[in-house]
Amino acid sequence: RSKLSGPELLCQIKEMVQIVTLTPDMEPFSALPWASQLPPRQITADIGPFKTCAVVSSAGSLKNSGLGKEIDAHDAVIRFNAAPTTGFEKDVGSKTTLRLINSQVMASEDHHFLSSSLYSAGILVSWDPGPYSSDLREWFNKTDYPIFKQYQRYRRLHPQQPFYILHPRMEWQLWQRIQDNMVETIQKNPPSSGLLGTVLMMSLCEVVHVYEFLPSRRKTELCHYYQRFSDAACTLGAYHPLLYEKNLVKRMNKGSDRDIYTHGKVTLPGFTTFNC
């Protein structure tokens, strides 16, 4: 199989990965009393389009980056899971337009998802590793973590905050792009929140700058910029096909290698800005 060029890869992702969020009319949710808590419209119909967007990975290499001002200068900023801004503004900025969270964060006791103010800024988007079939009924009967129970609780406590759930098909369509562009057979585990959020932003923005997903010269074994825990698997991946995700993003990068080295910065074009 021949290796696709950057533009070909961008087209594959644009055409083969659908950004879909759950809506109240979808089965089996439509039959459930809490379906009305789901946003009636697709996230892509409600939000944006934005001119410039920043994707802020949670990598330890953001520490001492001084990228805060540059990140905040974007029209929209997406952050992940429990990544804070308070106390880290100089390096990661303070603007949070969207926060993409995995279902583990919603369910685990130590994140205090229902009560922590960390989650009250911006628009929430959540996801849970669904079955490869992407069948909603099958997923509903066997989620990885209790995403729906926690969603209902959160919505009751914060009814005004927009909160979307990604259709699990997106995970697997994106996973398929990774697999089809790699020689090795990769594990059937969904892509990381970082890559899911990057593709989500490509559908909402004209230009997407991704920070410290491809590590800069500050590359470190420190897992997160906000924690003292070290593990190289955070950057290279264990459960998620992270190394392969990064390889793909590197190939799609429109910016310079210098930007990666100094800023950990990748530039990706929004889906509306190119034709296939």
Binding site for ligand NCC (CB under 6 A): 57-60, 80-82, 102, 104-105, 192-194, 213, 223-224, 234-235, 239-240
Give me the least distance between CB of 65 and ligand NCC, in Å please. Answer: 13
Q: Which is nearer to ligand NCC, 29 or 119 (CB)?
A: 119
* Nearest CA-CA partner of 129 in 116, 114, 115, 139: 139
Locate 172 and state its tokens: 């697997």
- Identity of residue 135: D
Q: Which residue is nearest to ligand NCC (CB)?
A: 194
Q: Which is nearer to ligand NCC, 29 or 175 (CB)?
A: 175
Locate 30 and state its tokens: 């439509």
The residues, any chain, with a CB within 8 Å of residue 274's CB and separated by 6 or more, are 7, 10, 11, 14
Instruction: Give the whole-angstrom CA distance, residue 6 versus residue 171.
Output: 21
Give me the least distance between CB of 31 and ligand NCC, in Å please. Answer: 30
Note the maximum CA span of the chain. Answer: 53
Q: Which is nearer to ligand NCC, 93 or 194 (CB)?
A: 194
Instruction: Give the whole-angstrom CA distance, residue 23 versus residue 39.
Output: 6
Give me the least distance between CB of 234 and ligand NCC, in Å please. Answer: 4
Q: Which is nearer to ligand NCC, 29 or 263 (CB)?
A: 263
Cα atoms in the 13 Å half-sphere on the side-chain side of 9: 25
Give me the least distance between CB of 23 and ligand NCC, in Å please. Answer: 23
Q: Which is nearer to ligand NCC, 189 or 272 (CB)?
A: 189
Give me the least distance between CB of 159 and ligand NCC, in Å please. Answer: 25
